[in-house]
């Protein structure tokens, strides 16, 4: 490959199709379909054996298995696998010039956005690689339970560490939100189809017939890093697609006011419980410089510290997707968490406090305090 100014020209980079999911069977079915229609591609498969703390790498093409290797990985976690072998292997295979495309089967439950972000933000780590598509393969008949159920990954007998606290719902939902293509194996009912459409990024493809997907088009490239990142951003400013009638609903709660620390704790169960997907950002008057992340699915909610607000940019916005009849209760809970006119008049938007009860999740208060001007 020729380089221009030390860089591989974009048109000479080898396209990579990432394949992910939360169950091995649909992932395997997707790989077979991709191999059949892309005979010039090489498949690199990574599997994690958490008990043996081993990463298993298999590389194969139309001629058969080219390499199979077991690699000791400390803690046998997905992040370690991505950092230590998956991305370096993609670069090595691409730089060899032997294949026209790479089909990368990620470990079960590995989120493709992790690979996309490393290559998107630091292209020098894999200069011969371009992400052409992120394809998520899921079971169609269990899609509602997979997206909104309360199972933990450890309860599904999946190859994850015993201390992996992720839920199936939050993992599968995050994959769907970031995907360029969602391929279902087995037909979902109408409710499952509507739920997927409500979560999926506009413009992404949803199919129950992977054989009808333009796989050559995927290899040519459908992934837009900026577009995908905008859709899954913690702080979202764009308008959502217009709501449609049906079983699945979307509530877009937003305000420039912060949550009251105590009332948020009182209402967090109401806002986060149930078979729903919720994500977004909020801020607290005790932490006016801190972007607080909200991420929930299947009755489990995580809150954490993301990055910092620029002065005057604070926003509270939580988007909730659901199927039940609890919309009025959610709207009331959200409104009750916001500072009232009286509280704003009395104490202002920024509070000087020594603690606010969120230290276990968001860290200390004082180091992030700013004064109102």
This prediction's pTM: 0.92
Taking residues 254-277, what's their average pLDDT? Answer: 96
SS3 letters across 80-148: HHHHHHHHHHHHHHHHHCCCCEEEEECCCCCCHHHHHHHHHHCHHHCCCEEEEEEEEEEECCCHHHHHH
Sequence ranges of the domains in the chain: 12-232, 249-368
pLDDT at residue number 270: 95
pLDDT at residue number 183: 97
Q: Say if strands 64-72 and 276-284 run parallel, antiparallel, or are unpaired.
A: unpaired
E strand or H helix that includes residue 321: strand 316-322
Residue 348 has pLDDT above 60, yes or no: yes
Residue 188's pLDDT band (cuts 50, 70, 90): very high
Q: Distance between CA 240 and CA 202 in Å, rounded?
A: 9
Q: Is 309 helix (H, G, I), strand (E, B) or coil?
A: coil
Q: Distance between CA 89 and CA 55 in Å, rounded?
A: 13
Taking residues 274-288, what's their average pLDDT? Answer: 96
Q: What is the chain's alpha carbon radius of gyration, rounded to the nearest angstrom?
A: 22
Please report, rounded to a whole number, the percentage of residues in the chain having pLDDT higher than 70.
95
Q: Mean pLDDT, the chain, as a whole number?
A: 92
Q: For tokens 């730089």, name the residue.
A: 95
DSSP 230-279: HHH-SS--SPPPPP-SSS-EEEEEEESSPBPHHHHHHHHHHHH-SSEEEE
pLDDT at residue number 73: 76
**Domain 249-368 part of CATH 3.40.630.10:** no
**Domain 12-232 part of CATH 1.20.1740:** no
Residue 76's pLDDT band (cuts 50, 70, 90): low
Taking residues 7-28, what's their average pLDDT? Answer: 92
pLDDT at residue number 373: 35
Taking residues 184-212, what's their average pLDDT? Answer: 94
Query: 112-121 and 87-96 helices cross at what angle (nearest 10)?
Result: 60
pLDDT at residue number 370: 53
| Token representation of residue 371 | 């004064």
Range of lowest pLDDT (6-10, 183-187, 282-286, 312-316):
6-10
Taking residues 168-189, what's their average pLDDT? Answer: 96
pLDDT at residue number 367: 52
How big is the chain, counted in residues? 373
Residue 54 has pLDDT above 80, yes or no: yes
DSSP state of 300: E
Is the fold of 12-232 the same as that of 249-368?
no
How many CB atoms within 10 Å of residue 262?
11
């Amino acid at each position: 490959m020729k380089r221009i100014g030390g860089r591989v020209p974009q048109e000479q980079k080898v396209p990579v199709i990432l394949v992910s999911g939360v169950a091995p069977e649909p992932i395997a079915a997707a790989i077979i379909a991709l191999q059949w229609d892309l005979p010039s591609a090489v498949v690199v498969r990574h599997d994690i054996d958490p008990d043996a703390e081993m990463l298993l790498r298999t590389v194969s093409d139309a001629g058969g298995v080219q390499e199979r290797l077991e690699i000791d990985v400390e803690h046998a976690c997905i992040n370690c696998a991505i950092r230590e072998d998956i991305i370096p292997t993609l670069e090595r295979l691409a730089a060899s010039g032997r294949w026209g495309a790479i089909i990368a089967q990620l470990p079960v439950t590995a989120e493709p956005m992790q690979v996309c972000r490393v290559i998107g933000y630091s292209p020098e780590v894999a200069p011969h690689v371009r992400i052409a598509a992120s394809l998520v393969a899921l079971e169609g008949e269990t899609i509602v339970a997979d997206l909104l159920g309360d199972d933990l990954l450890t309860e599904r007998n999946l190859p994850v560490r015993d201390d992996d606290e992720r839920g199936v719902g939050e993992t599968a939902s995050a994959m769907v939100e970031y995907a360029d293509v969602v391929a279902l194996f087995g037909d979902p009912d109408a409710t499952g189809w509507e739920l997927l459409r409500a979560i999926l990024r506009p413009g992404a493809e949803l199919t129950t017939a992977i054989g009808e997907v333009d796989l050559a088009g995927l290899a040519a490239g459908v992934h837009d890093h900026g577009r995908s990142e905008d859709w899954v951003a913690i702080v979202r400013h764009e308008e959502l697609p217009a709501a449609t009638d049906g079983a699945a609903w979307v509530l877009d709660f937003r305000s420039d006011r912060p949550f009251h620390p105590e009332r948020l704790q009182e209402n967090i169960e109401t806002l986060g419980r149930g078979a729903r997907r919720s994500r977004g950002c909020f801020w607290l008057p005790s932490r006016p410089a801190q972007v607080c992340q909200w991420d929930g699915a299947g009755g489990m909610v995580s809150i954490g510290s993301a990055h910092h607000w620029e002065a005057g940019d604070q926003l509270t916005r939580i988007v909730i997707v659901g199927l039940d009849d609890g919309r009025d209760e959610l709207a009331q809970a959200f409104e009750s968490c916001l500072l009232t006119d009286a509280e704003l008049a009395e104490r202002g938007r920024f509070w000087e406090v020594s603690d606010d009860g969120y230290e276990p999740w968001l860290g200390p208060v004082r180091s992030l305090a700013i004064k109102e001007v």
